[in-house]
Amino acid sequence: MGKIAYVFPGQGAQYVGMGQDLYQNLPDAAEIFDKADEVLGYAISRVMFKGPETKLGETEVTQPAILTVSTAILEQLTGHGIIPDITAGLSLGEYSALIAAGSMEFEDAVALVEKRGRYMQNAVPVNTGTMAAIIGLDKEEVIGCCQKASHLGVVEAANFNCSCQTAISGETRAVERAVEIAKSMGARRAVVLQVSAPFHCSLLKPVGAQLKGELDSIAIKDAAIPVVANVTALEETDSGTIKQNLIKQVSSPVLWEESVRRMLALGVDTFVEIGPGKTLTGFIRKIDKGANVMNIGDMETLEKALEKLEGIKCLS
């Protein structure tokens, strides 16, 4: 039988109302939301359920919010005895993956990603940095666009999501110029994104030093199952290496397509996206049309996935 991978979404997957039906129907899920409120010192669950959208979209709110929903769903799967063979997450999602792998405790992670979000937001002055999505060019062409625009400032490939979609990040003028160059090269779509900071580029290197101080203050254990790291696209269980990967991650490109291909090479044939949205499900289907992919973001998708996963578990 093939292996199961749990994958976790990053920032951008959030929406007002996420997690509310889990809270209302599942007492052990409600405990996770209540714990997040307690650790953070305010009712982040209320922001998730009721908004406003502008507040939920603040990086230091978005990151712990998505992690909380992902963990609440993860607890349901664990409670049914469904344990993955390997796990990974996109950017912020890597912290949820580490919780799934037993490397990090939820209480530590939710406090940490709130600080991570604040550090990332404050690293670059408002309106001086941004990101863009380029669709329809391969990664070498996108890197070329960035090189041609770099005389205007920092602009770098930030997320290699799948073969036809790459995100770039950097100083606003340089990113905008790279978008123009991408369009002239025949990109199907090249658009500046509505983001609060230029994630995963060298402008965020100072955040790594700030994160190191936070990571040194919490317990990070060896992972019980392998976690495929964003920065290397290789599986890891060693706690020291995991910590170093998290420090590098904020200013390094996310190698998502390579990470998925690595999991496929290791025998994964079922991917379960855990958390709000379906972004990773879409990427994985583009990377491998034959992969069995499902997403769990609410009660309805949880019930469907549990039925499928328990069937897979029985077959194995």
State the catalytic residue, choosing from 91, 96, 196, 252. 91
How far apart (Å, rounded) are the C-alpha atoms in residues 44 and 203?
29
Note whether 282 and 257 are within 8 A (CB): no
Helix, strand or coil, per DSSP, at residue 168: strand
Number of H helices, E strands in the chain: 14, 10
Per DSSP, helices labelled H in 90-215 are 93-100, 106-122, 139-149, 172-184, 205-215
151 is catalytic: no
Distance of alpha carbon 122 from alpha carbon 129, whole angstroms: 11
Which entry of 45, 103, 200, 251 is annotated as an active-site residue? 200
Place of tokens 């996108």: 142
| 91 included as an active-site residue | yes
The answer to whether residues 28 and 75 touch, using CB atoms and an 8 Å cutoff, is: yes
HEC readout, 93-125: HHHHHHHHCCCCCHHHHHHHHHHHHHHHHHCCC
Instruction: Quote the CA–CA distance of 145 and 129 in Å, as a whole number.
Output: 17
Residue type, 212: K
| Cα(207)–Cα(197) distance, integer angstroms | 12
| Cβ contacts of 90 within 8 Å, gap of 6 or more | 7, 8, 9, 10, 159, 230, 254, 256, 279, 280
Nearest to 256 by CA among 165, 191, 170: 165
- Residue numbers annotated as active site: 91, 200
